[in-house]
Amino acid sequence: MMIGCRVSDSSSMASAFTAKLISVSLLLLVFLFTFPSVSESNNLFCDAGSGYGEQSCGIHSTSSSKILIKGGTVVNAHHLEIADVYVEDGSIAAVKPNIKVGDDVKVLDATGKYVMPGGIDPHTHLAMEFMGTETIDDFFSGQAAALAGGTTMHIDFVIPVNGSLTAGFEAYKKKAKMSCMDYGFHMAITKWDEVVSKEMEVMVKEKGINSFKFFMAYKGSFMINDELLLEGFKRCKSLGALAMVHAENGDAVFEGQKRMIELGITGPEGHALSRPPLLEGEATARAIRLAKFVNTPLYVVHVMSIDAMEEIAKARKSGQRVIGEPVVSGLVLDDSWLWSSDFLTAAKYVMSPPIRSSGHDKALQGALVTGILQLVGTDHCTFNSTQKAFGIDDFRKIPNGVNGIEERMHLVWDIMVESGKISVMDYVRITSSECARIFNLYPRKGAILVGSDADIIILNPNSSLEITAKSHHSRSDTNVYEGRRGKGKVEVTIAGGRVVWANDELNIVPGSGKYIEMTPFNYLFDGIEKADENYLSSFQAPVKRFKSST
């Protein structure tokens, strides 16, 4: 595994001995004082603020733009076959058996393995300023972790600057300068006026954003009220943009937090106790009903509870266009760790909505099986132990967030495919293809088809792995899946036609990632206008009445 930064000595060979001593000393100082933990020093590639070339930091790109993946089982969301996949200049050029190639083509043997579209993570927070600090993973380290885990694109959330969408977008474009894989943006809405309404149109028509997120929680910071939610939903509908919600009743959560403090419950367990599942269920139901009132599609992010899932199930059964996104932490973990006697152990599991008690995880897995929930994200929002310790005396000050961008593909395979709950094709659907469809990326992304981007993984179903903070690629010094073992391992990741992960090593180029613009009016909007017409025609109004002649 490649680690650390390689320092290039630009001085002449004549003073090599002295220069080497100075360089080694400086390098040791950098490692000792910049990276406070063993985990961080093992996994932090480079400071993303530095300049890079393809050969810097021990990271380089593969020389071949032509790749043949031979003999694997090629899996799409609705079809699988044993075939070869030929890649050239960043795109898939052929998918068929027994492709013949010349000596200038890099050949990867995938016999007995699955060849699948790279994962697309619909929900991440890299370099996000939040709760008085900033997430420890930026657009380089977070994406490096993603690629090591088989994810080749993610969609991050732009947070407006003082309510300004334009300022927020520009800030995030700068944050993403050192990207090493493709990414897109959602946009959060934190206030409402005519300027924001006009900016939403600019974001959709000029900046490639086709989704807007509304926080129903985080009172005093991101939270919006129902009036704003309605205005936002109406504007999303007119623009063909997907409305997204973080569904928790922020007013009730605020009351719950005060109640816990009054009871003397100041530790991480107070976080879960202050925002129980019923508050997630209430907000989910409210958002669904308001979306139905406006008649616009709705996407509920990080569905963490049975309460929220059941509201989505009812809405979908009635024909409403609602997407439910569980995240891997909610599928795999339960809240027992929040009661650990060690503060830092408990604090690393603090996220919102909270990880729920045992039973919710299995119910969410079942909802994926039956199609009540459609795709899996991560809500990757990492903070290290020092940052989590901000709330050592008050759980309200613990930065909310856990890791998952590197672990998602492996964990979903283990708990859903290896367990026999879903097929390999369903795995592709919930980790890649459905996300591509929802955000109008398909079939450029989320498919192994001729003309699709060459974002591909080779997964060995017979290989095993163990998740640890010592070996992960996030900058965080902890991992909420620590020690978990599973079967099924991504052995090769190809992004943009380049082998970026193989033999447990990353081959990545900072700055090589591309911003992917996403167009509005996805498939969820099909038939919306007709439904509106039918709704209006059902009014039998206004009624013509005769005025009394008296």
Q: Is the pLDDT of residue 261 over 50?
A: yes
Q: What is the pLDDT of residue 215?
A: 98
pLDDT at 37 over 80: no
Q: Kindly state the tokens that stand for 324.
A: 């439910």
- Residue whose structure tokens are 């919600």: 245
From the CB of residue 251, how many other CB atoms can be counted at a distance below 10 Å?
A: 14
| Separation between Cα atoms, residue 456 and residue 119, nearest integer Å | 8
Structure confidence by residue, pLDDT tens digits, 305-328? 999 999 999 999 999 999 999 999
Nearest-angstrom CA–CA distance, 330 and 377 = 10
| CB contact at 8 A, 458 and 490 | yes
Whether the CB-CB separation of 293 and 278 falls below 8 Å is answered with: no
pLDDT at 548: 74
pLDDT for res 3: 34
With residues binned 3-state (H G I as helix, E B as strand, rest as coil), the percentages for the chain, rounded to 5, are 35, 20, 40
Mean pLDDT of the chain: 90
Section 199-211 average pLDDT: 98
Compare 46 and 447 and report the one with higher pLDDT. 447
- Contact between residue 186 and residue 157 where contact means Cβ atoms under 8 Å apart: yes
Q: Would you say the C-alpha torsion 214, 218, 221, 227 has a positive or negative sign?
A: positive
* Residues 150-194 pLDDT 10s: 999 999 999 999 999 999 999 999 999 999 999 999 999 999 999
What letter represents residue 518's amino acid?
A: M
Asked whether 118 and 493 are in contact (CB, 8 A), the reply is: yes
Residue 434's alpha-carbon distances to 153, 271, 345, 420, in angstroms, are 13, 32, 34, 20
Dist CA 104 CA 66 (whole Å): 7
Q: Is the CB of residue 401 less than 8 Å from the CB of residue 387?
A: no
Residue 101 structure tokens:
């190639």
Query: Are the C-beta atoms of residues 121 and 154 closer than 8 Å to each other?
Result: yes
pLDDT of residue 364: 98
Host H or E run for residue 96 = strand 91-96
The whole-number pLDDT of residue 64 equals 60
Contact 140, 479 (CB under 8 A): no
The model's pLDDT over 105-144, given as tens digits with 9 standing for 90+, comes to 999 999 999 999 999 999 999 999 999 999 999 999 999 9
Identify whether the C-beta of residue 118 lies closer than 8 Å to the C-beta of residue 455: yes
What's the mean pLDDT in 85-103?
97
pLDDT at 246 over 90: yes
Residue in the block written with tokens 């990880």: 355
Report how far apart, in Å, the C-alpha atoms of 304 and of each of 250, 374, 441 are: 16, 14, 26
Give residue 230's pLDDT band: very low, low, confident or very high (50, 70, 90): very high
CA 250 to chain centre: 23
